[in-house]
Amino acid sequence: MAEKILVVDDDIESLKLIGLMLQRQGYQVVTANSGQQALDRALSDRPDLIILDIMMSVMDGYEVCRRLRHDPLTQHLPIIMFTAKTLVDDKVAGFEAGADDYLTKPTHPAELVSRVKVLLARAAQQYTPSDRALVWGFLGAKGGVGTTTLATNVAAVLAKNSPTALADFRLGQGTLGLSLGFARSTGMANLLTRPTNEIEAQAVEREMVTHASGLRLLLSSGRPKETLLNVSPETLAAVVRHLRALQRVVVLDLGAGLSRLTARMLPDVDQLTLVVEPNQVALTLARDMIGEMQQIGLDRNRISVVMVNRAQTSVQVPWQEAEQLLSHEMTAIISPAPELAFQAAEAGLPIVLYQPNSIVASQFSKLAEEIAGRRSV
């Protein structure tokens, strides 16, 4: 995929010219014509590099650069200041604000492109995927397939070795907090009712609670009014990126079905586990979801499928037939343990902590180790 460059300038003609030049070189280009818009776009569009003008009203490029360097989500981004300010003091101020390079207008297009290539290559060496937290999403093919139980137990396994957060994005349908012994479960709603530019790492940290296992939890409640919240995709993405900055592993309970908002979150997910039951309805829905996720741009290698046998029946679809229907291998098959799941919830514990020697606990642990093993956490 082509690298994405954010171009920031309050002169519309300059934006068009620089953008066209970069697009001809094969780069994706997003633009901002103010300092605040630049900060918002840096979070929502996740650029690989920023080209930043200095002389802008309200918030100049120096201040934008300082804020980008202060934010853990953007502090690693390469920044080229591209400006008509030519004095040595101007350049010194740019580098002191945190710029990686400083280029004065006008300049030959080849020089700007050369500087872009050098900084992108340097950033690729310094900031690799293993530097980032692992974000692992769990999505049910339909409701009631055990997505929350699976996400909770996998997160509890990972928390034994790495700082781990578990976030419940099922607004108005959240049961995660109750199953782990927390009556207060409005943290997610409190965040998602804020404007995107007001969601900061400190705000996310304040809304989280800590389970006895060490898991950090960002919870949704089961209050129906939460389903009516007007949540933007940018706000959801901002929460995920702040969680990534705060923890080493982030597990997301995405509920059931591929909604518009869930689809918008997929680019922020490193691994996506699709949870199915061994029946035709769940498997047919899962097959369609896999196709849609690939169309959105989620690589098939980032999708794993887990079959949860919530109860043994004579009419369930064998896993071999399920793989054929999905054209996708099963990463794991989880044994039925409804009574154990109930007992663990009553105790406010994940199964892997309530009865760690059980068969289903070992299956959760194996799944966690296999997926996490694809990334060093």
Indicate whether 281 belongs to any domain: yes
Q: Is the dihedral of CA 159, 161, 163, 167 positive or negative?
A: negative
Give the pLDDT confidence score for residue 196 in this predicted structure: 81
Q: What is the DSSP letter of 225?
A: G
User: Quick one: 116 and 183 in the same domain?
Assistant: no
- Identify the domain boundary among 112, 127, 142: 127
Q: Are strands 209-210 and 216-218 parallel, antiparallel or unpaired?
A: antiparallel
User: Quick one: 140 and 287 in the same domain?
Assistant: yes
Indicate whether 50 belongs to any domain: yes
User: Quick one: 157 and 72 in the same domain?
Assistant: no
Indicate whether 136 belongs to any domain: yes
Indicate whether 48 belongs to any domain: yes
| Closest alpha carbon to 366 in 321, 334, 340, 342 | 334
151/253 Cα distance (integer angstroms): 6
Give the pLDDT confidence score for residue 266 in this predicted structure: 86
User: Quick one: 237 and 105 in the same domain?
Assistant: no
Indicate whether 377 belongs to any domain: no
Count the domains in the chain: 2
Indicate whether 307 belongs to any domain: yes
The CATH number for 43's domain is: 3.40.50.2300
- Identify the domain boundary among 68, 97, 127: 127
User: Quick one: 229 and 184 in the same domain?
Assistant: yes
Give the pLDDT confidence score for residue 312 in this predicted structure: 64
The CATH number for 241's domain is: 3.40.50.300
Give the other-Cβ count within 10 Å of 250's Cβ.
30
- Identify the domain boundary among 79, 94, 127: 127
Give the pLDDT confidence score for residue 376 in this predicted structure: 46
User: Quick one: 118 and 259 in the same domain?
Assistant: no
User: Quick one: 120 and 171 in the same domain?
Assistant: no
304/301 Cα distance (integer angstroms): 8
The model's pTM: 0.69
Q: Do 297 and 285 meet the contact criterion of CB atoms below 8 Å apart?
A: no
| CA triple 299-132-65, angle to 5 deg | 110
User: Quick one: 214 and 114 in the same domain?
Assistant: no
- pLDDT tens string, the chain, 377 residues long: the values are 578 999 999 889 989 999 999 999 999 999 999 999 999 888 777 789 999 999 998 899 999 999 998 877 788 899 999 988 889 998 999 999 999 999 998 888 899 999 999 999 888 776 544 456 889 999 999 988 899 999 999 999 999 888 999 999 988 888 898 899 888 788 998 988 888 878 888 888 889 999 988 899 999 988 888 877 888 888 888 898 889 888 889 999 999 998 888 888 888 888 999 999 999 999 999 999 999 998 888 888 889 999 998 666 667 888 899 999 999 999 999 998 889 999 999 999 999 999 999 999 999 999 998 877 765 44
User: Quick one: 14 and 154 in the same domain?
Assistant: no
User: Quick one: 113 and 243 in the same domain?
Assistant: no
User: Quick one: 232 and 251 in the same domain?
Assistant: yes
User: Quick one: 178 and 315 in the same domain?
Assistant: yes
Indicate whether 73 belongs to any domain: yes
Range of the domain at 239: 131-372
Indicate whether 85 belongs to any domain: yes
